Amino acid sequence: MARTLLLVEDSPTQAAKIRFNLEAKSFSVVVAGNGQNALKCARDEQNRPTLIILDYNLPDYKGVEVCRMLKADAATKSIPVIMYSAEHGLRTMSEAYNAGADYYVVKEAEGAGGNGLELVIEATMAKLARRQRVA
């Protein structure tokens, strides 16, 4: 199974850190710095991602808007989306899940030395592999 991730993150520092950690785990990571580029990358038939990590706050769209567009598009609706945000309120999480996000990971938990994002990515990849074996 391909291990290509689309990381949608507008902070170059944050994107570089996440990319470094994921590439060390043998993932191929494509970075998009805004919602428009994220939609373009997700729809690229030649390099369609296996999984999307989507920041909640982007310069051009809210992450939930991008998630809704991805889930409304036949070409991208089956790609799992992990919403990744500094926002930790229940309303924000509810918006993300209602938009179609599969998981929600709070960024500040990462700063405390946690690896929540990586754990969710690995669990999602394992789930996708099980589905592929059943199909």
Please report whether residue 17 resides in a domain.
no
* Residue 79 is assigned to a structural domain of this protein: yes
In this prediction, residue 135 carries a pLDDT of: 62
DSSP line for the chain: ---EEEEE-S-HHHHHHHHHHHHTTT-EEEEESSHHHHHHHHT-GGG--SEEEEESB-SSSBHHHHHHHHHHSTTTTTS-EEEEES---HHHHHHHHHHT-SEEEEHHHHHTT--HHHHHHHHHHHHHHHHHHH-
Model confidence at 1, in pLDDT bands (50, 70, 90)? low
Residue 115 sits in a domain whose CATH number is 3.40.50.2300
Q: Look at residue 24 and tell me if it is in a domain.
A: no
Encode pLDDT of 18-69 as tens digits.
999 999 999 999 999 999 999 999 999 888 999 999 999 999 999 999 999 9
72-112 pLDDT per residue, tens: 999 999 999 999 998 889 999 999 999 999 999 998 655 54
Q: Domain for residue 120, yes or no?
A: yes
Note whether residue 107 is domain-resident.
yes
Average pLDDT over all residues of the chain: 91
Residue 110, in any domain of the structure: yes
Domain count, the chain: 1
Look up the domain containing 57 and give its range. Answer: 1-8+48-135
64, part of any domain: yes
